[in-house]
A and B are shown apart, each in its own frame.
Chain A
Amino acid sequence: QKEVEQNSGPLSVPEGAIASLNCTYSDRGSQSFFWYRQYSGKSPELIMSIYSNGDKEDGRFTAQLNKASQYVSLLIRDSQPSDSATYLCAVNGGEDNYGQNFVFGPGTRLSVLP
């Protein structure tokens, strides 16, 4: 059973600070990793994808992947109140994944305080 784990939070950070969100996964063969943002009552919205070890930056967002440690993280710089949402980590494509579905973590709720 492939598992993706996240700290459910809430994670509270002051406006302008860096928010750090973490995710671990169980399937060592996983190949693709995604971060989604979900506002309350809304559907998940893709923020970042990462496939190779290291960092990937897109605006205020940086995704970090360490396959040896089976760990992926999302950093949000200059956090804004509008970043307050639940952040979902999704993992796809591993040895146990005989399909193309994503396995999602439970999400981390982020609260950015003005």
Chain B
Amino acid sequence: DTGVSQDPRHKITKRGQNVTFRCDPISEHNRLYWYRQTLGQGPEFLTYFQNEAQLEKSRLLSDRFSAERPKGSFSTLEIQRTEQGDSAMYLCASSLEGAHSNQPQHFGDGTRLSIL
């Protein structure tokens, strides 16, 4: 059973650089989510796709962040002009589409971003 895969696992970059992360969801899952998690906090929602359509973005997501899921399979999350506050674990999750919002989300191992 192939789970959610994220790449890279770790990314260290200098402030001001652009970074891109990739997520490959569980193959039959048509919903894909990006979250950000900082130490001592729960995951914080960033954005969500159903197939290739980006249906929701958090109001916390600045215009430096962009996400794509061009073919409804893998997704990328790009952060432009990184800032110190972007240092966090970026988690991807996927789920099946279900009625009444009741499908559990399955998480990848995350990409840990460190901004120098």
Contact = CB atoms under 8 A, between A and B. Distances in A.
- How many B residues are at the interface, by size bracket? 20 to 34
A100 B102 contact: no
Given A43-B107, A88-B43, A104-B42, A93 B33 contact: no
Interface in A84-102: 88, 90, 92-93, 97-102
Interface string B87-116: 000010001000011101111111000000
A42 interface: yes
Interface in A1-42: 4, 8, 31-32, 34, 36, 42
- How many A residues are at the interface, by size bracket? 20 to 34
Contacts of A98: 56
A62 interface: no
A89 B44 CA distance: 12
Nearest to A34: B104
Nearest to A48: B104
A39 B24 CA distance: 22
B31 to A, nearest CB: 6
Interface of B: 31, 33, 35, 40-45, 48, 50, 55-56, 58, 91, 95, 100-102, 104-110
